[in-house]
Amino acid sequence: MQPIINVHSHLINFDFFPDNYFRIRSPLKEWMLEHPATHWIIRFITFVIPGQAYDKMHEMQAILRKNIDDVAGILIAEMDTAGIVMSTPLMMDLEIPASQKAEIPYPYQVIMVSEIAARYPGRIMPFIMYDPRKSGAYKLIKRAVEEMGYLGVKLYPALGYHPDPRSYYNNVETNEELEKIYDYCEQEQIPITAHCSPGGSYSGEFLHNKDLILQMTRPDNWETVLSKHPKIRLNLSHFGNCLTEVYDPGSWASAIARLVAEYENAYTDIAYQSKALKKKTQEQYFSALNRLAEDKDIGRKIIFGTDWPSTRHTWTEGDYVRPFAKYLSAEKLRRIGFDNPINFLFPDRKLPRRIVDFYASKNVAPDKYPSWTKDNLNI
């Protein structure tokens, strides 16, 4: 089985979300997932409307009600079935957009996921989320990546800030914080994954202003960051949400393709690509992906991701991987699913000393690392 690295997943449960997050923005599926009283509704719909994947929705609800250690165990089990050798769960700090702390406050979530990373060395390698509006956020990020086993940093501008540190949408303090994180990550070669899609989560302030959501999240916002920090390792995730539009001028996908072709360490992942999973659109999707994979500038910058468990209402990790294995050649699957992710995550294909030291602090010796690390990374 072709080994795969998933650069875009999450380790979350309902205790990691502030209650207000669902209350102020729940569409039907999210509402049904979040509320215990809907358990019987999901089971009933599964029975009377077969083929609608509500059975998976019921499973997703059950997963998100488990403690985070059990969620991690389920992720590992699905990874094993799908041939995914490593996953980089992206933390989600939703306390500012929800104006409320989660049941488990974010700093404690960071500790819990760090402990999971030690339990699954070389298999769960998380990214710490950075919200530049939070007091003390930069110090937390430094501690997480230098001492707690976090491989990279997650940014999510749609939650209420502009990624350009010169932007007038932000206050002065937020821009100063952004500049600090870009300087730090470029200097230390710490990978950043940034949400870059018109969909997903967003700040409550933007609920009724779609134009503002797009203004905060569009790919061109990153031009200034990449120009000033040309060596920064940046994944503009989701390939704009619609990879098949990559050859349409003015589309998000074409803007991302231009940036990843132009900048040395800019990449884009293909997480939550529903067109790849739906039979009616699979041929169109993989025709575009195969063509992109052959592009000398873009093909080496596309990296595999799923967005688990955000996709779990319809697809398991095995379901997500299967069409990629079917429609891509072994060589292209190896490049997109393994080699490109390694190049993004590990400069010079080297396991960072900070990660080695973290494992050592948890009594995890190199002989306990999974074989994919020993066979493909300099340790």
Q: Where are the domains of the chain?
A: 4-376
Mean pLDDT confidence for 58-63: 85
Mean pLDDT confidence for 171-177: 95
The span from the CA of 12 to the CA of 69, in Å, is 10
Could you identify the residue written with the tokens 């031009």? 223
pLDDT band at residue 208 under the 50/70/90 scheme: low
pLDDT tens digit sequence for 248-293: 888 999 999 999 999 999 999 999 999 999 999 999 999 999 999 9
pLDDT band at residue 75 under the 50/70/90 scheme: very high
**Highest-confidence range of 14-18, 116-120, 200-204, by mean pLDDT?**
116-120
Which two tokens mark 247? 């050859």
Which amino acid is located at 225 in the chain? Answer: V
Q: What's the pLDDT score for residue 209?
A: 64
Helix (H) or strand (E) run with residue 87 in it: strand 84-89
Q: What's the pLDDT score for residue 38?
A: 46
Say yes or no to pLDDT of 217 above 70.
Answer: yes
Mean pLDDT confidence for 215-235: 93
User: Contact at 8 Å (CB) between 221 and 162?
Assistant: yes
* More confident of the two residues 305 and 57: 305
pTM (predicted TM-score): 0.91
Say yes or no to pLDDT of 34 above 60.
Answer: no
Which two tokens mark 256? 């991302």
Q: What's the pLDDT score for residue 210?
A: 66
The span from the CA of 30 to the CA of 52, in Å, is 16
Instruction: Write down the mean pLDDT value for the chain.
Output: 88
pLDDT tens digit sequence for 323-376: 999 999 999 999 999 999 999 999 999 999 999 999 999 999 999 999 999 999
| Backbone dihedral region for residue 302 (phi beyond 0: left; psi -120 to 50: alpha; all else: beta) | beta
Distances in Å between the alpha carbon of 238 and those of 65, 167, 174, 243, 304? 26, 23, 25, 8, 10
Q: What is the largest CA-CA distance in the chain?
A: 56
Say yes or no to pLDDT of 85 above 60.
Answer: yes
Instruction: Write the burial class of residue 83 (CB in 10 Å: 0-12 exposed, 13-18 middle, 19+ buried).
Output: middle
Say yes or no to pLDDT of 72 above 50.
Answer: yes
The span from the CA of 302 to the CA of 340, in Å, is 7
Which amino acid is located at 295 in the chain? Answer: D
User: Contact at 8 Å (CB) between 196 and 237?
Assistant: yes
Mean pLDDT confidence for 280-308: 96
Q: What's the pLDDT score for residue 342?
A: 98
Question: Which segment of 4-13, 41-50, 315-324 scores lowest on mean pLDDT?
Answer: 41-50
Indicate the CATH number of 4-376 among 3.40.50.10140, 3.40.50.300, 1.10.3720.10, 3.20.20.140. Answer: 3.20.20.140
pLDDT band at residue 47 under the 50/70/90 scheme: very low
Pick the closest to residue 373 from 152, 147, 121 (CA basis). 121
Q: What's the pLDDT score for residue 304?
A: 98
pLDDT band at residue 22 under the 50/70/90 scheme: low
